[in-house]
Chain A
Amino acid sequence: MAEVGKVTFELVSPQRLLVSQAVDMVVVPGTEGDFGVLAGHAPLISGVRTGVIDMYEGDAIAERIFVAGGFAEVTPERCIVLAEEAVPLADLDAEVIRARVRDAEEAIDDARDDAERAQPAADLEIARAMLEVAEAG
């Protein structure tokens, strides 16, 4: 069980479990607006939009993680975020992301119909959001 006053935060992507630790507070970009989770939060299930999750230790941000949409489940003891894709902000590399934006744009140009275009279009949106965050950070 988590320490008193802390909430266990877990961030999972389809590939792996990224984070599982006790934090003082975590701020999640929900579909209806950002929400902060402290210990003892009322049970909540929410969509997560593309954005940045902030993990707080005390009053300071300990870690920032980029997520590309997903779902969050909050219970009084824990906060679980299931993300489509998640990358810690420190690991974002603007160059790599730019290449990804280019790849996605090319794929959209190459696509022959809407069905084929959907996948790269979604990817492009994520990559652009990622780039924005990387350049701001």
Chain B
Amino acid sequence: MASLKSLRLRINSVKATQKITSAMKMVAASKLRRAQERAEAARPYAERMERMVQSLAQSVAGNESAPAMLRGSGREDTHLLVVATSDRGLCGGFNSSIVRAARQRIVELEVAGKSVKLFVIGRKGRDQLGRDHGGRFVETLDNIGVRGPQFAEAATIAETLSELYAAGEFDVCAVVYNKFKSAISQIVTFQQLIPFAADEEAAAIDLGGAIYEFEPDEAEILDDLLPRNAGVQMYRALLENAASEQGARMMAMDNATRNAGDMIDKLSLTYNRTRQAAITTELVEIVSGAEVI
């Protein structure tokens, strides 16, 4: 049986760990609130932007002169997966679930005979995917959203994507991120960025047969709108991801705090039993010693 001293040391160390995890939980909870507010505030813009692009897409459908970002490059050979993860760990299954989904997708695409390239955001994803898919990396980024994702950062990413696309580096681009549903549930989501694909949720508005007028004209607006839309969707993905990360961390730390509590209870029980056993043994020794005399 462990000695009293070593038990005492263990109890103290578990208590110290518990203090850390409970502090992290509280920090995550307050960050979560802020991240969630931002994610929700950004939704209307992204949704309306998507709807606008969709209306435009409908009106230029089948048009040969439509920009490549809308029409696609006519092939589907090379896929670029933008994998959005976090820079820090200790957030439960957050990063692993994204990485797992990305890996699965890579295998699926490979089986279908496509080649896959990766654009990894966040240190954790880079480390995890780097082990077996390091050769597929075209670009990695970290330190995104140290103080919450900024729109400018998302716009820069989208710009890089447009450049890669223009250079013919890939045919289809999708982003993988965790959609924030609630603090306890985040859903791994694939969203196709290029060529533009409408979300089923964003239903087009019925104009009763009327068609849109365009000012200046379709092509010019599309040229402007499509890269912007990619940036906005990227921004939304980053914001959702940030909120999900904090949610996942909060849950993970809550669990850790609770487990530490259980462990402390168990250790204290063992400690008290051991102490009592030691006292009893001592008493017996004294009593039997006295009887001998």
Which residues of A are interface residues toward B (Cβ below 8 A)?
Answer: 10, 12-17, 30-32, 35, 42-47, 71, 73, 75-76, 80, 82, 119
Contact between B215 and A47 (Cβ–Cβ < 8 Å)? yes
Contact between B52 and A82 (Cβ–Cβ < 8 Å)? yes
Ordered by A's residue number, 22 sampled pairs between the chains whose C-beta atoms are within 8 Å are A10-B44, A10-B48, A12-B45, A13-B45, A14-B232, A15-B38, A15-B151, A17-B45, A31-B216, A42-B210, A44-B215, A45-B214, A46-B221, A47-B216, A47-B220, A47-B221, A47-B224, A71-B224, A73-B48, A73-B51, A75-B205, A82-B48
Contact between A71 and B221 (Cβ–Cβ < 8 Å)? yes
Q: How far is the CB of A108 from chain B (nearest CB, A)?
A: 16
Query: CA A106 – CA B181 in complex, angstroms?
Result: 42
B211 CB within 8 Å of chain A: yes
B213 CB within 8 Å of chain A: yes
Q: How far is the CB of A12 from chain B (nearest CB, A)?
A: 4
Query: CA A11 – CA B56 in complex, angstroms?
Result: 20
- 6 cross-chain pairs, A with B, having the tightest CB-CB distances, nearest first: A46-B215, A16-B41, A17-B44, A12-B45, A43-B212, A44-B213
Contact between B52 and A16 (Cβ–Cβ < 8 Å)? no
Contact between A12 and B48 (Cβ–Cβ < 8 Å)? yes
Chain A residues lying within 8 Å of B151, measured Cβ to Cβ, are 14-15
- With CB as the reference atom, state the residue of chain A lying closest to B44: A17
Contact between A43 and B45 (Cβ–Cβ < 8 Å)? no
Chain A residues lying within 8 Å of B49, measured Cβ to Cβ, are 71, 82
Contact between B52 and A45 (Cβ–Cβ < 8 Å)? yes
The B contact surface, by secondary structure, is helix
Contact between B42 and A15 (Cβ–Cβ < 8 Å)? yes
The A contact surface, by secondary structure, is strand
Q: How far is the CB of A74 from chain B (nearest CB, A)?
A: 9
Q: How far is the CB of A68 from chain B (nearest CB, A)?
A: 12
Most buried by A among B45, B51, B221, B224: B45
Contact between A45 and B55 (Cβ–Cβ < 8 Å)? yes
Q: Known contacts A43-B210, A45-B221; can you find 18 more A-B pairs with CB under 8 A?
A: A13-B45, A14-B151, A14-B235, A15-B45, A17-B44, A30-B215, A31-B216, A42-B210, A44-B213, A45-B55, A45-B56, A46-B221, A47-B224, A71-B228, A73-B55, A75-B207, A80-B48, A82-B52
Chain A residues lying within 8 Å of B212, measured Cβ to Cβ, are 43-45
B42, B44, B215: which contacts A45 (Cβ < 8 A)?
A: B215
Chain A residues lying within 8 Å of B211, measured Cβ to Cβ, are 43
B11 CB within 8 Å of chain A: no
Query: CA A42 – CA B209 in complex, angstroms?
Result: 12
B152 CB within 8 Å of chain A: yes
Query: CA A49 – CA B143 in complex, angstroms?
Result: 33
Contact mask B40-76 → A, CB, 8 Å, 1/0? 0110110011011001100000000000000000000
B198 CB within 8 Å of chain A: no
- With CB as the reference atom, state the residue of chain A lying closest to B205: A75
Contact between A43 and B235 (Cβ–Cβ < 8 Å)? no
Considering the complex, which residues of chain B in the window 214-254 have a beta carbon less than 8 Å from any beta carbon of chain A? 214-216, 220-221, 224-225, 228, 232, 235
Q: How far is the CB of A51 from chain B (nearest CB, A)?
A: 15
- With CB as the reference atom, state the residue of chain A lying closest to B40: A16
Q: A71-B225, A73-B55, A80-B48 are in contact. Are A44 and B205 (CB under 8 A)?
A: no
Chain B residues lying within 8 Å of A47, measured Cβ to Cβ, are 215-216, 220-221, 224
Q: How far is the CB of A53 from chain B (nearest CB, A)?
A: 16
Query: CA A29 – CA B38 in complex, angstroms?
Result: 28
Chain B residues lying within 8 Å of A82, measured Cβ to Cβ, are 45, 48-49, 52
Contact between A45 and B213 (Cβ–Cβ < 8 Å)? yes
- With CB as the reference atom, state the residue of chain A lying closest to B207: A43
Contact between A71 and B42 (Cβ–Cβ < 8 Å)? no
- With CB as the reference atom, state the residue of chain B lying closest to A73: B52
